[in-house]
Amino acid sequence: MPKMKTHRGTAKRVKRTAKGKFKRTKAYRGHLLGHKSAKRKRRLRKGGLVSSADQKRLKKLMPGV
């Protein structure tokens, strides 16, 4: 049986934590930042965790990680 391959697009966007959860960056921070408040941009700087509904899907995409 061939090796399971890691989905490279997912691997670039998501990292695994020590407990096996997935870290991600928040959306809406890429452009059009002029009208967003400083408070909103500051909150978007911090990462977030992937929702529990998507954890199972990510485990299939990243088997070796």
- The per-residue pLDDT for range 2-40, each reduced to its tens digit, is 999 999 999 999 999 999 999 999 999 999 999 999 999
pLDDT reported for residue 64: 80
Query: What topology does CATH give the domain 8-61?
Result: Factor Xa Inhibitor (4.10.410)
The C-alpha torsion from 9 through 31 and 50 to 52, rounded to 10°, is: -110
Which pair of tokens denotes residue 3?
Answer: 């090796």
Which pair of tokens denotes residue 63?
Answer: 């088997």
Domain residue ranges of the chain, discontinuous segments joined by +: 8-61
- The per-residue pLDDT for range 43-65, each reduced to its tens digit, is 999 999 999 999 999 999 999 87
